[in-house]
Chains A and B, each alone.
Chain A
């Protein structure tokens, strides 16, 4: 019974786990009061790097996953280094630019298969791997939340100036958050590529970036569980209500508007404690 359920919904279940990781990657940045529109680009970097290493270089999967985290982290340093010293708007705009550069490059380059993308990627993922990594990431976030880092993050989100006066190392926190978020998104991208056998340059554009943001805002960022809840809802719901499927992007956009204007805490209003 469970087996047949699992079989028919395998790709949906995998998508839930992968989107959960993406939602956490978004949470990492939002939690320090920044906005990145580059999560899709980091994901795409992870997807392409991992696919090329699997198909062309035949690296073992563990090494592939590590590389899929390191490369987006380097991109995050490139983008975050200059922009995080400025107001938050600059990071948001620069991450959009990163996404565009990646999309243009992947569409143009032979290495990445151009507009056709890359196919025939062997499935090296499993339920255990995806959800194990998600659980591990969640555990890590809970540990961080209930510590001086969690307090520093929430302080930055509420009032960056006051957080600085408390002695919070603002540049390190911001850059750290962006790098961790890029690594998580890259990991999710690699898992996604190896779960779906195909990747294309237009899977990681603006729409996907905004969709990832809608996961986090729907669930709320009072705790790391909120974004994961948001990802689960927004991944499963369109599959259950097929009428919704065609308007997925409309709904995702609407959710962001409503969340920002009317429910800034999201669905999961519970706030995680900050004392370890």
Chain B
């Protein structure tokens, strides 16, 4: 019994790492938006769905290869994200409305968008053309891994590195941090805040879309509500990692992914989805600023 567990462990850990990377990848854009713009934008889950659907139709109808469909979907979704921010959140920002107003408006928009998607596409599960990516598995000792799993892990690492470099090393990153700190002061210091807002929306939309495509690839199951399920996991990831914390999101995502896979493997797959939420409630009780958070969580 024990030997069997030990034997399965490496494969389980790898599966957990892959699943966790998808959570982290998804959560990055979400936590970035909160960190810079100070809003929980619930339409983010919809960008995930949108990316997956765009890639689906790009590969199916236009016969695009996946390396073209993925960035194409990311750019288009990024533009949609700019549009949504302009329509829903910019008016509230101008009015200096309380943060809950922006949360509510994106909550309503989310319900609206998913219901429209479901009304037009139905709830059946769609699949990418099988030729899009090789499903051959590579074997390392007792561990098997396939191309889409590798793609997910590599992309996650690359994107985290690129985001951190962008934030810490560039002029634009400086503007982002200035806006995150204090919008009015940033504006006075000559930061074009509208441009930063648009850029952050674009990046987040593109990240959400990329996560949607990669996860669509890995599980080969695409349907309108996939973003909502992911969104709920995303909350857990960004709160456990600390709201607005990029590195925290990466680590929290992987921790949840690994724990879920281990729970499913060794306890019961029925309750694996509750792992993240139980951790979330525990985090709120014992460490509300998140794993690594030092940022003030309370505004005067």
Chain B residues closer than 8 Å to A101, beta-carbon distance = 274, 277-278, 281
List B259-286 residues whose CB lies under 8 Å from chain A.
268, 270-271, 273-274, 277-278, 280-281, 284-285
Query: Which of B113-121, B187-195, B198-206, B246-254 interfaces with chain A?
Result: B113-121
Cβ of A250 and Cβ of B119 under 8 Å apart?
yes
Q: Cβ of A107: which chain B residues have Cβ within 8 Å of it?
A: 270
Chain A residues near B284: list those with CB within 8 A.
79, 82-83, 86, 90, 94
Pick from B103, B232, B273, B285: contact of A35, CB under 8 Å: B103
Asked if residues B105 and A257 are in contact (CB atoms below 8 Å), the reply is yes
Are A250 and B277 in touch, CB under 8 angstroms?
Answer: no
B115 touches A90 (CB 8 A): no
**Residue of B98, B113, B119, B277 touching A246 (CB-CB under 8 A):** B119
Docked CA distance A247–B189 (Å): 47
CA of A211 to CA of B243, assembled, Å: 27
The interface stretch among B17-25, B50-58, B151-159, B292-300 is B292-300
B40 touches A253 (CB 8 A): no
Q: In the assembled complex, how far is the CB of residue B126 from the closest CB belonging to chain A, in whole angstroms?
A: 21
Decide: B273 and A249 in contact? CB cutoff 8 A.
no
Verify if B174 is at the interface (C-beta below 8 Å from A). no
If A86-B298, A261-B88, A261-B105 touch, does A250 touch B273 (CB 8 Å cutoff)? no
Also in contact, A82 and B285, with CB within 8 A (given A87-B297, A92-B40, A261-B92)? yes
CB of B223 within 8 A of chain A?
no
How many Å from the CB of A36 to the closest CB on chain B? 10
Is B184 an interface position by the 8 A CB rule?
Answer: no
| Contacts A82-B284, A93-B40, A253-B113; A104 near B108 (Cβ below 8 A) | no
Q: Is B111 within 8 A of A108, CB to CB?
A: no
Looking across the interface, which residue of chain A has its beta carbon closest to that of B272? A104
Asked if B285 contacts A108 (CB within 8 A), the reply is no
User: In B59-100, which residues have CB < 8 Å from any A CB?
Assistant: 88, 91-92, 97-100
Q: Does B48 contact A (CB under 8 A)?
A: no
Contacting residue for A92 out of B103, B108, B115, CB 8 A: B103
Q: A94-B281, A104-B274, A217-B104 in contact; A249/B111 too (CB < 8 A)?
A: yes
Complex contact A253–B243 (CB within 8 A): no
Question: Which listed residue (A34, A100, A211) contacts B274, Cβ 8 A?
Answer: A100
- Which B192-232 residues have a C-beta within 8 angstroms of A? 228, 232
Q: Which residues of A contact B91 (CB under 8 A)?
A: 261
Number of interface residues of B (CB under 8 A): 45
B239 contacts partner chain A, Cβ-Cβ < 8 Å = yes
Partner of A97, one of B40, B110, B116, B277: B277
**Is B235 in contact with A254, judged by CB distance below 8 angstroms?**
no
By the criterion CB–CB under 8 Å, are A35 and B104 in contact? yes
Q: Which A residues touch B300, using CB under 8 A?
A: 161
Q: Is the CB of B108 within 8 A of A214?
A: yes
B107 touches A250 (CB 8 A): no
* B contact residues around A264 at 8 Å (CB): 101
Q: Write the chain B residue with the least CB distance to A88.
A: B100
Give chain B nearest CB distance to A113 CB in angstroms: 14
Distance from A238 Cβ to chain B, minimum over Cβ atoms (Å) = 13
- The closest CB in chain B to the CB of A92 belongs to B103
What residues of chain A lie closer than 8 Å to B273, measured between beta carbons?
100, 104
Q: Provided the pairs A94-B281, A246-B119, A249-B111 are in contact, do residues A88 and B99 lie with their beta carbons within 8 angstroms?
A: yes
Complex Cα gap A206–B229 (Å): 10
Given contacts A85-B298, A97-B277, contact A257 B88 (CB under 8 A): yes
Is the CB–CB distance between A256 and B108 below 8 Å?
yes
Q: How many Å lie between the Cα of A273 and that of B287 in the bound state?
A: 41
A115 and B22 alpha carbons, distance in the complex (Å): 27
The smallest beta-carbon distance between A227 and chain B, in angstroms, is 14
Interchain CA distance A81-B288 in the complex, whole Å: 11
A-chain residues with CB within 8 Å of residue B270 when the two chains form the complex: 104, 107-108
Kindly state whether residue A255 has any CB partner on chain B within 8 Å.
Answer: yes
A115 → chain B, closest Cβ, in Å?
Answer: 10
**B residues near A33, Cβ cutoff 8 Å:** 98, 100
Say yes or no: A253-B277 contact (C-beta < 8 A), given A88-B99, A100-B232: no
Within 8 A of A (CB), among B106-137: 107-116, 119
Known: A81-B285, A86-B288. A108 touches B112 (CB 8 A): no
| Contact indicator B298/A97 (Cβ below 8 Å) | no
Which residue of the partner chain B has the closest CB to A254? Answer: B112
The answer to whether the Cβ of B36 comes within 8 Å of any Cβ in the partner chain is no
A87 and B99 in contact, given A100-B273, A210-B108 (Cβ under 8 angstroms):
yes
Choose from B109, B281, B297 the contact partner of A253 (Cβ within 8 Å): B109
Residues of A within 8 A of B228 (CB): 206
Report A254 CB to chain B, min CB distance, Å.
Answer: 5
Query: A254-275, CB under 8 A of B: which get 1 and which 0?
Result: 1111011100100000000000
**Cβ B239 vs Cβ A93 within 8 A:** yes
17 contacts between A and B (CB under 8 A): A35-B100, A35-B104, A82-B288, A85-B288, A86-B297, A89-B40, A90-B297, A93-B239, A94-B281, A98-B277, A104-B277, A210-B110, A213-B108, A250-B115, A260-B92, A261-B88, A264-B101
